Amino acid sequence: MRPTHIIVGAGQAGAWAAVSMRQAGFTGRILLIGEERWRPYERPPLSKAALTEDPEPALAYFHKEARYAEQNIELMLGVEVAAIEPMAHRIRLMDGRVLEYDKLGLTVGGKARRLPVHGGDAALYLRTIEDARVIRARLAEAKRVACIGAGVIGLEIASSARQRGCGVTVLEALPRAMGRAVSPEGAAFMESLHRNAGVELHFNLIVDQLESIAGGGAVVVCRDKRRFEADLVIAGVGMQRNLALAEAAGLALEGGIVVDEFGRTSAPDIFAAGDVTAFHHPLFGRRLRLESWRHAQNHGTAIGRTMCGEMIPYDDVPWFWTDQHGVNLQVAGLPADAAHTVVRRNVPSGGFVAVHLAGDGSVIGVTAADNPREIRAGQAMIKARQKVEPALLEDGSVPLQRLMVR
């Protein structure tokens, strides 16, 4: 009988895990199960083009429907898994069906974290194409938008709202923008970018409640009693990982599903990839929890091949990008972990480039605006654990590529 590999979670990681199994030569049965009714699609456009472009752009699917058919990948969409039974090697679906597996991959991602405050339902949240369409329609009517959260998603929505002509106020609990993703220098650059575009930024504010206004809109009430009235409130306060299935199945958790560098969980023949994981990274020697499209894609690809017997450790340098107010910011490595940051001067493009160093002087991160070449060189330096004297990094007219040790 042919072996059966099941992937639960039909997002970026799941789609690429399924396809990579065929690329690895697996000839058994592949099932890709997802709760949404759409086949796997790109999520980055949801906070950008899906909110701003006219007419609304079509969904950007990872693969044409024919590719799944050609590769004999069975799509089970609009289907929810009720339970995993690791000892029996089977899963139970909400509709009562039972599916047996030889190998199981969990790529279940997460959902938008809700505001834990009174009236939190008055805010809109963004995670799916349906969410984006609701926000898009509301932006067409709104004059004043309040964005709660100055992380990547919150700021991308703020940028899109400004592009639609709305007045925008951003409220953030932390003392700076993108505080968990960039260094203080990177945060200062992004804050300046938003203020120059007309966005009001407020930091160190704790939201206490949302008061709905008759006829539409809401007032955001903060702990310090400040009040911000808006026609539309959108909350981007992080992602809540979908851990219920894994927890009920007894898998090890540490803020995510714990996996090693090969994507193996604590249960035999169960693997996990993408946003839902806390994975061991060989380069940094510790577990990381990352949320980015490239991590989801490459980690999914890696576990798909591992499920077919290829034991290749996943050691990609973390990387993400964001487009805000016409500027493309890219971040490689772990700049928030830096002991020292050098902001490069005299960068030919006139843009922002910062190199982040660990305590031992090795490059641990690079942040660059509209400068992909510096990012590519920086990724190579991070992977090589290259040490560089800070003084050599200051002159931005000397490309990082020339400072690389070959």
Residue 183 to residue 185: CA distance in whole angstroms: 5
Question: Residue 142 corresponds to which tokens in the numbers above?
Answer: 């709104």
Residue 278 to residue 383: CA distance in whole angstroms: 20
Output the pLDDT for position 348: 87
Q: Which domains does the chain have, with CATH numbers?
A: 4-109+242-306 (3.50.50.60), 112-239 (3.50.50.60), 326-403 (3.30.390.30)
Output the pLDDT for position 143: 98
Helices marked H in 278-331 — which ranges? 293-306
Indicate the burial class of 256 (C-beta count within 10 angstroms; 0-12, 13-18, 19 or more). Answer: buried
Q: What is the pLDDT along the chain (406 residues), one digit of tens a residue?
A: 789 999 999 999 999 999 999 999 999 999 999 999 999 999 999 999 999 998 889 889 988 889 999 999 999 999 999 999 999 999 999 999 999 999 999 999 999 999 999 999 999 999 999 999 999 999 999 999 999 999 999 999 999 999 999 999 999 999 999 998 999 999 999 999 999 999 999 999 999 999 999 888 999 999 999 999 999 999 999 999 999 999 999 999 999 999 999 999 999 999 999 999 999 999 999 999 999 999 999 999 999 999 999 999 999 999 999 999 999 999 999 998 999 999 999 998 788 999 999 999 999 999 999 999 999 999 999 999 999 999 999 999 999 999 998 7
Output the pLDDT for position 351: 86
pTM of structure: 0.95
CB atoms within 10 A of CB 97: 11
Residue 30 to residue 101: CA distance in whole angstroms: 10
Output the pLDDT for position 139: 97
Q: Which helix (H) or strand (E) is 244 found in, with range?
A: helix 244-248
Output the pLDDT for position 271: 99
Rounded to 5 degrees, φ, ψ at 284 are -100, -10
At 8-35, the pLDDT tens digits run: 999 999 999 999 999 999 999 999 999 9
- DSSP letters of 160-225? HHHHTT-EEEEE-SSSSTTTTTS-HHHHHHHHHHHHHTT-EEE-S--EEEEEE-TTS-EEEEETTS
Residue 306 to residue 97: CA distance in whole angstroms: 27
Residues composing the chain: 406
